[in-house]
């Protein structure tokens, strides 16, 4: 272990000297997050306002609490909520159908919350319950916000599952009444007119944090690759012979490289989390949860990149493969744009990437409970463990050749 530390210390000194790790690990991601957040963020914040409808078929204390939660959000000026009770929906529709169709944009709704009959009773007796969030496809951001409001509420109660659907045809603003009716219909049939299942929890991150996290994890893979490729570099410059001739156990050479990669990854991510929080106002969430996710994602990056390094013949080849893999995984994992927009297959495929799990974990963390990151942390560690074990076997063989 002492030897692994010696090797890692030497490596880190080299990486500091050649500045590339600094560039990929801190400068580039921070710069891009900065630029992107300037491009996208002000627009979204300036124009964002959502109209919500609550369809309260319950009328009990839970529904009451939910309305109060919404009111506090109204207070912040983000959203306006209107309550419709189901009876009035039906009535209004009959008597004012002409008004409905004439509804102008101001009167339209972006999303609806359906609080089903007997929710309060069911939740209070410990059986749990379900609030359905219906979003109009024309206003995905508002639907996301609606979802996170409901998510926050359910996290507080811990007993309500969310069913989330974007149910309206694209580019059509929905009037509140028809949305309300849809909500009802959805609740009754149990299989609503579902265009898209917005299940990716990544959607709860605000745009700035999403950008910051996306850029960080994207470049993390490059930063970590510097550590991992160190083994091939030692081969290229011939110093591997010296390490093999030295009175040290062979596995300590690989352990040293792993340690280097780990340190580079952790330092880079830590700097980025702090810097984007301080400079861009990113909200990563509870530090403990963020730390767990960061450690886990660094592990997964190490494992995946080590497999690539182990199968490459030269350092150049490894560098190329690693870049391709890193970019492909980042695209698939939604670091550049949220894949959940792209539909079910992409969303499912994205779960093959550490990037998606990392972003998802951060999203889950927004609910406020640290334990919510555990599934993502578990998935990331599993990535790291499987690929890392494979790489170790490969590398151990490669080293003694």
Partner 1 sequence: MRESGKGLVLDCRGLRKSFGQLVAVDGVGFQIAEGETYGLLGPNGAGKTTSISMICGLLARDAGEVIVDGKPLTSRSVDAKRSVGYVPQDIAIYPDLTARENLTFFGRLYGIGGSELKARVDEILGIIGLADRANDRSEEFSGGMKRRLNIGIGLLHAPRLLVLDEPTVGVDPQSRNAILESVASLSTEGMAVLYTTHYMEEAERLCDRIGIIDHGRLVAEGTRRELVELVGKHDRIRMRASGAIEDAAAAVHGLDGVRKAAASADGIDVIADRAADSLAEILGIITASGVAVASVDVDEPDLESVFLHLTGRALRD
Q: Which residue do the tokens 């980025």 mark?
A: 272
Asked if 239 interacts with partner 1 (CB under 8 A), we say: yes
Asked if 313 interacts with partner 1 (CB under 8 A), we say: no
Q: Which residue do the tokens 């497999």 mark?
A: 307
Asked if 13 interacts with partner 1 (CB under 8 A), we say: yes
What is the Cα–Cα distance from 348 to 41, expressed in whole angstroms? 27
Site for partner 1 in 153-182 (CB under 8 A): none
**Out of 49, 170, 188, 242, the residue judged to bind partner 1 by CB under 8 A:** 242
Choices 29-37, 79-87, 235-243, 270-278 (CB under 8 A): range interacting with partner 1: 235-243
Q: Give the pairing of strands 50-56 and 111-115.
A: parallel
Choices 118-126, 234-242, 347-355, 361-369 (CB under 8 A): range interacting with partner 1: 234-242
Choices 133-141, 246-254, 280-288, 339-347 (CB under 8 A): range interacting with partner 1: 246-254
Q: Which residue do the tokens 């995905």 mark?
A: 140
End-to-end Cα, the chain, rounded Å: 23
For the chain, the residue count is: 401
Shorter beta-carbon distance to partner 1: residue 17 or 313: 17
Choices 8-16, 175-183, 298-306, 336-344 (CB under 8 A): range interacting with partner 1: 8-16
Within 10 angstroms of residue 256's Cβ, the number of other Cβ atoms is 26
Element (DSSP H or E) covering residue 344: helix 344-350
Q: Closest separation between CB of residue 272 and partner 1, Å?
A: 25
Closest CA to 196 of 172, 161, 163: 163
Asked if 263 interacts with partner 1 (CB under 8 A), we say: no
Q: Give the pairing of strands 129-135 and 160-166.
A: parallel
Asked if 104 interacts with partner 1 (CB under 8 A), we say: no
Q: Closest separation between CB of residue 238 and partner 1, Å?
A: 3
Element (DSSP H or E) covering residue 164: strand 160-166
Asked if 393 interacts with partner 1 (CB under 8 A), we say: no
Asked if 316 interacts with partner 1 (CB under 8 A), we say: no
User: What are the φ/ψ torsions at residue 80 (nearest 5 degrees)?
Assistant: -120, 135
Would you tell me which residues interact with partner 1 (CB under 8 A)?
3, 6, 10, 13-14, 17-18, 237-250, 400-401
């Amino acid at each position: 272990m002492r030897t692994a530390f010696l090797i890692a210390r030497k490596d880190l000194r080299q990486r500091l000297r050649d500045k590339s790790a600094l560039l990929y690990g801190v400068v580039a991601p921070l710069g891009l997050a900065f630029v992107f957040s300037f491009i996208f963020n002000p627009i979204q914040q300036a124009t964002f306002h959502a109209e919500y409808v609550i369809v309260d078929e319950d009328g009990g204390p839970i529904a009451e609490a939910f309305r109060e939660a919404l009111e506090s959000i109204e207070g912040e000026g983000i959203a306006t909520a209107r309550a419709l009770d189901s009876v009035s929906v039906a009535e209004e529709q009959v008597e004012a159908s002409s008004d409905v169709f004439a509804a102008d944009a101001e009167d339209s709704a972006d999303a609806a919350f359906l609080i089903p009959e007997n929710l309060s009773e069911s939740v209070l007796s410990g059986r749990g319950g379900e609030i359905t969030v219906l979003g109009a496809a024309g206003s995905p951001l508002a639907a996301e916000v609606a979802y996170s409001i409901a998510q926050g509420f359910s996290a507080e109660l811990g007993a309500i599952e969310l069913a989330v659907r974007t149910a309206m045809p694209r580019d059509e603003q929905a009037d509140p009444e028809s949305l309300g009716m849809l909500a009802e219909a959805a609740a009754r049939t149990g299989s609503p007119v579902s265009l898209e299942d917005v299940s990716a929890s990544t959607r709860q991150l605000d745009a700035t944090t999403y950008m910051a996290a996306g850029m960080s994890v994207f470049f993390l893979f490059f930063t970590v690759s510097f550590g991992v490729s160190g083994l091939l570099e030692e081969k290229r410059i011939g110093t591997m012979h010296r390490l093999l001739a030295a009175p040290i156990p062979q596995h300590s050479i690989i352990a040293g490289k792993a340690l280097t990669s780990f340190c580079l990854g952790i330092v880079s991510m830590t700097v980025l989390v702090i810097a984007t929080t301080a400079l861009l106002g990113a909200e990563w969430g509870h530090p403990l949860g963020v730390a767990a996710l960061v450690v886990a994602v660094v592990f997964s990056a190490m494992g995946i990149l080590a497999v690539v390094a182990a199968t490459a013949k030269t350092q150049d080849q490894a560098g190329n493969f690693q870049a391709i893999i890193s970019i492909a995984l980042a695209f698939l994992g939604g670091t550049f744009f949220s894949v959940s927009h792209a539909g079910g297959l992409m969303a499912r495929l994205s779960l093959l990437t550490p990037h998606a799990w990392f972003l998802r974990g951060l999203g889950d963390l927004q609910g406020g409970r640290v334990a919510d990151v555990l599934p993502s942390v578990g998935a990331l560690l599993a990535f790291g463990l499987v690929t890392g074990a494979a790489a170790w076997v490969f590398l151990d063989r490669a080293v003694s050749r």
